Chain A
Amino acid sequence: MRRSLVRTGTAVTVLGLLAGCSAGGSGSDSGRTVLQVAALEGGYGRDMYTQVIKAYEASHPDIDVQLQISKSIEDEITPNMKAGRYPDVVVLGQGRKAALTETLVKDKALEDLTPVLKEKVPGEDTTVGDKLTEGIVGNLNTNPYGTDQTYLMPMYYAPTGLFHNKGLFEQKGWKVPGTWDEMFALGDTAKKQGIPLFTYPTAGYLDSYFFALLADVGGEQFYTDVMTYKKDVWKSANARKALDITTKLLGYAAPATVGYANEQDFTKNQQLVLDNKALFMPNGTWIVGEMADAPRADGFQWGLTPLPAVTSGGKRYITTSVESVWVPSAARQKDAAKKFIAYLYSDEAAKIFAESNAIQPVEGIANSLSAENAEFYKVYEDPKVAALVGGFASTAPVEGVDIKATLFDTANSIVSGDTTEDKWQSALNEASEKLRQAGS
């Protein structure tokens, strides 16, 4: 009796393991193409994906889209990917802690999606490329190797900049500063009233600040030089100017900032702005949803402004955060994946995404935005403000070198006085040079 029980148990276990091993593969199932889609469940929620997939399957009965969605999607798909089971489509941007997208970019393990731009949007007469907002592709964000090939298709875009309480400015009769001189003058005025000028959630949020500042200081070419690690670029006068401005600004940081600038407490820094305990913080439009339930000062109203200009009337750039969709080169259903991605830019899909405040970079979408969102996206209408998309160019990994950490995290040490601007500049130059050599 006992032996038969053991045998039965063993058989069940083996069958279970075999069943487990066979699950999750993409391929054809009774004539239908199975498309595996993995998506990050970010601030926009998960419902929009299920709705879009439902709509896609209704018009494509030969396709069965299987969605895997999670707030830590990297942790869920990585073990399968290492075992050779890749999803066909991944909606996951850069800048995440696990850096999965960046790793695949460095490995040159992404499918070239340039043909998708020429693909007709299903059910429409226009191509994907024609439908996308001008300038949203062809930058280092979508073309990470600095070539004409697009590997990361832009999925949602959001302006980032300095968020503040518009209500407080109205109440105090303060003007949102247009130049850095005005900014620091406001910092002195606010300081007298016990309100620090600046805070940041974590140092990583300074990406939206720094990228725009570099372009404001030295123009787009200088910005590109920094992002592509031009030799001695961090020794240049423009780089020094950007660091001068930043060091001065960090001198106005709320005292609580560094203590709360970690993964666990960052919302406390965001709360400083809601409580009128800090004037400005760098952030993106997702902040509205993220802090929707947080208490706030009377008359609080979200405001977004680009960084002040370096000189009066000077051009101002606004870093535009773009999340991406991509296809691993090892995916099995690459053609179906590309067609599905083309559909994601259809009017039908864009409407569903926009209802969850996930705004896609397609022409004319601004007209369909809700009042608060429309206000944020109006920032692009100012002729003196230009959108800036991108980030550091991808190179082969360099052991021990993370230039984003060197650029952003050092801000904590500047605020606390644990390092100097000179050392910061020197460390940036060293990191940039190592990456330049790795990229060349």
Chain B
Amino acid sequence: MLVCLLPASVLFAVFMIVPTVNVFRMSLYTWSGFSPDMRFVGLDNFRHLLDDQQFVRAFQNTIALLVVVTVVTMGMGLFLAAIMTRQRLRGRNLYRFVLYIPNVLSVVVIAAIFSAMYDQENGLLNGTLRLLSLDGLQQVWLGDQKVVLYSVAIAMVWQSLGYYMVLYMSSMAGIPEELYEASALDGASPARQFFALTLPLIWENLRTTLTFFIMSAVNLSFVLVRAMTGGGPDGSSEVLLSYMYKQAYTNSSYGYGMAIGVVIFAFSFLVSLLVSRATRREPLQF
């Protein structure tokens, strides 16, 4: 039995454990990434992080993105899934298909689509606002420091929404129809049915996807930011992973970059733990 586990254990150790331990180890050194000259500095890299305002800003941006994107994606995903499952919508399969498409597209393609949509002069968004005589609402979507993060957030929501909607739809489809019929006889409105029946009965699924989504959103924000804004203007859309990349590879501070990596690891772990604790309930079964 143990012999059967050996190949998988070796692969897991080589490709998962060793690189992770290496990130922790490298965060204690100053090193450019090339030079044989590696200097052990203990926790100095972490101390620098506390004084680094750009890191603080990237951290704030990451948290803001996670909160906004998670709340909107999960909320809309649940809402749309409930409508698609409970209401007899015409063309329901078409909606499901259209909403799922972004998940199949490469993130770079999504970045290109949204960059074109956000174009301040010829973009679809400002063009539509002009058409509706809402010129006052036009924005420099990727150039305004107060708006740019939300512009990235919208692209993230668009990319993820369909996938989670489909996941919730499949969970909701498994809830017996009799429960809804009984509650309808008791006079429960669709909204009441959603909060009193649907949500508690898919709670375990929601918990799992929430943790999974938060982790994937950290990665997604990096790719979209790199492709759409490069972290700009002037660092206003920088996120933790893009800042880590810049420090490790552009500023030749590989050890410092790995310290940021450790913070991301700890942060992700902590958020998962918090989400798991905060959403823990007695499972309901049907």
Whether the pair B34, A81 counts as a contact (CB closer than 8 A) is yes
Point out the residues of chain A lying under 8 angstroms from B112, CB to CB: 264
Knowing A103-B252, A265-B115, say if A409 contacts B48 (CB, 8 Å).
Answer: no
Whether the pair B32, A103 counts as a contact (CB closer than 8 A) is yes
B135 at the A interface (CB under 8 A): no
CB distance from B224 to the nearest CB of A (A): 12
Whether the pair A98, B249 counts as a contact (CB closer than 8 A) is yes
Point out the residues of chain A lying under 8 angstroms from B140, CB to CB: 255-256, 258-259
B177 at the A interface (CB under 8 A): no
B235 at the A interface (CB under 8 A): yes
B230 at the A interface (CB under 8 A): yes
Knowing A97-B250, A416-B143, say if A262 contacts B230 (CB, 8 Å).
Answer: yes
- Which B48-63 residues have a C-beta within 8 angstroms of A? 48-49, 51-52, 54-55
User: In this complex, what residue of A is CB-closest to B233?
Assistant: A412
Whether the pair B251, A107 counts as a contact (CB closer than 8 A) is no
B211 at the A interface (CB under 8 A): no
Whether the pair A400, B256 counts as a contact (CB closer than 8 A) is yes
Point out the residues of chain A lying under 8 angstroms from B229, CB to CB: 262
B121 at the A interface (CB under 8 A): yes
Choose one: B34, B111, B141, B228; the contact of A104 (CB below 8 Å).
B34
Point out the residues of chain A lying under 8 angstroms from B251, CB to CB: 99, 397, 399-402
Task: Annotate B241-264 by CB proximity to A: 1 below 8 A, 0 otherwise.
Answer: 000001101111100100000000
Point out the residues of chain B lying under 8 angstroms from A102, CB to CB: 252
The secondary structure that dominates the A interface is loop
Knowing A102-B252, A106-B252, say if A258 contacts B34 (CB, 8 Å).
Answer: no
Roughly how many angstroms separate A117 CA and B115 CA in the complex, as a whole number?
A: 48
Whether the pair B45, A262 counts as a contact (CB closer than 8 A) is no
A260 at the B interface (CB under 8 A): yes
Whether the pair A107, B35 counts as a contact (CB closer than 8 A) is yes
Point out the residues of chain B lying under 8 angstroms from A82, CB to CB: 33-34
- Which B1-53 residues have a C-beta within 8 angstroms of A? 30, 32-35, 37, 45, 48-49, 51-52
Whether the pair B249, A400 counts as a contact (CB closer than 8 A) is no
B175 at the A interface (CB under 8 A): no
Point out the residues of chain A lying under 8 angstroms from B121, CB to CB: 256
Task: Annotate A346-364 by CB proximity to B: 1 below 8 A, 0 otherwise.
Answer: 0000000000000000000
Point out the residues of chain B lying under 8 angstroms from A405, CB to CB: 235
Which of the listed residues A259, A405, A409, A413 has the most CB atoms from chain B within 10 Å of its own CB? A259
Task: Annotate B170-190 by CB proximity to A: 1 below 8 A, 0 otherwise.
Answer: 000000000000000000000
Task: Annotate B133-149 by CB proximity to A: 1 below 8 A, 0 otherwise.
Answer: 00000001111110000
Whether the pair A397, B253 counts as a contact (CB closer than 8 A) is yes
Whether the pair B33, A103 counts as a contact (CB closer than 8 A) is yes
Roughly how many angstroms separate A398 CA and B30 CA in the complex, as a whole number?
A: 10
Whether the pair B230, A263 counts as a contact (CB closer than 8 A) is yes
Whether the pair B250, A99 counts as a contact (CB closer than 8 A) is yes
Roughly how many angstroms separate A412 CA and B256 CA in the complex, as a whole number?
A: 26
Whether the pair B34, A259 counts as a contact (CB closer than 8 A) is no
Which of the listed residues A104, A106, A258, A412 has the most CB atoms from chain B within 10 Å of its own CB? A258
- Which A158-188 residues have a C-beta within 8 angstroms of B? none
Knowing A262-B232, A416-B143, say if A399 contacts B256 (CB, 8 Å).
Answer: yes
Whether the pair B252, A397 counts as a contact (CB closer than 8 A) is yes
Knowing A103-B33, A412-B232, say if A260 contacts B143 (CB, 8 Å).
Answer: yes
User: In this complex, what residue of A is CB-closest to B145?
Assistant: A418
Whether the pair B32, A397 counts as a contact (CB closer than 8 A) is yes
A114 at the B interface (CB under 8 A): no
User: In this complex, what residue of B is CB-closest to A272?
Assistant: B121
Point out the residues of chain B lying under 8 angstroms from A262, CB to CB: 142, 228-230, 232-233
Which of the listed residues A399, A402, A419 has the most CB atoms from chain B within 10 Å of its own CB? A399
Task: Annotate A77-104 by CB proximity to B: 1 below 8 A, 0 otherwise.
Answer: 0000110000000000000011100111
Whether the pair B234, A409 counts as a contact (CB closer than 8 A) is yes
User: In this complex, what residue of B is CB-closest to A264?
Assistant: B115
Knowing A103-B32, A402-B250, say if A259 contacts B234 (CB, 8 Å).
Answer: no
Roughly how many angstroms separate A81 CA and B36 CA in the complex, as a whole number?
A: 12
Choose one: B35, B141, B235; the contact of A259 (CB below 8 Å).
B141
B227 at the A interface (CB under 8 A): yes
Whether the pair A397, B30 counts as a contact (CB closer than 8 A) is yes
Whether the pair B35, A261 counts as a contact (CB closer than 8 A) is no
CB distance from B47 to the nearest CB of A (A): 10
Point out the residues of chain B lying under 8 angstroms from A401, CB to CB: 251
Roughly how many angstroms separate A104 CA and B247 CA in the complex, as a whole number?
A: 15
Which of the listed residues B52, B228, B232, B236 has the most CB atoms from chain A within 10 Å of its own CB? B232
- Which B64-103 residues have a C-beta within 8 angstroms of A? none
B120 at the A interface (CB under 8 A): yes
Roughly how many angstroms separate A257 CA and B143 CA in the complex, as a whole number?
A: 8
Point out the residues of chain B lying under 8 angstroms from A291, CB to CB: none
User: In this complex, what residue of B is CB-closest to A108?
Assistant: B35
User: In this complex, what residue of A is CB-closest to B256?
Assistant: A399
Whether the pair B233, A107 counts as a contact (CB closer than 8 A) is no
Roughly how many angstroms separate A82 CA and B36 CA in the complex, as a whole number?
A: 10
- Which A312-347 residues have a C-beta within 8 angstroms of B? none
Whether the pair B142, A259 counts as a contact (CB closer than 8 A) is yes
Task: Annotate A256-284 by CB proximity to B: 1 below 8 A, 0 otherwise.
Answer: 11111111110010000000000000000
A410 at the B interface (CB under 8 A): yes
Knowing A107-B35, A259-B141, A260-B143, say if A400 contacts B252 (CB, 8 Å).
Answer: no
Whether the pair B249, A413 counts as a contact (CB closer than 8 A) is no
Knowing A99-B250, A102-B252, A400-B52, say if A409 contacts B143 (CB, 8 Å).
Answer: no
Roughly how many angstroms separate A97 CA and B249 CA in the complex, as a whole number?
A: 9
Whether the pair A261, B32 counts as a contact (CB closer than 8 A) is no
14 CB contacts below 8 A, A to B, read: A98-B250, A106-B252, A108-B35, A257-B143, A259-B140, A264-B112, A264-B115, A265-B115, A265-B119, A400-B54, A401-B251, A405-B235, A409-B234, A409-B235
Closest 8 CB pairs of A and B: A259-B143, A412-B233, A107-B35, A400-B52, A258-B143, A259-B140, A399-B256, A397-B252
* B-binding residues in A (CB < 8 A): 81-82, 97-99, 102-104, 106-109, 203, 255-265, 268, 397-402, 405, 409-410, 412-413, 416, 418-419
Known: A259-B143, A416-B233. 18 other contacts (CB 8 A): A82-B34, A98-B249, A107-B35, A258-B140, A261-B232, A397-B251, A399-B45, A399-B247, A400-B253, A405-B235, A409-B232, A409-B234, A410-B234, A412-B232, A412-B234, A413-B234, A418-B236, A419-B234
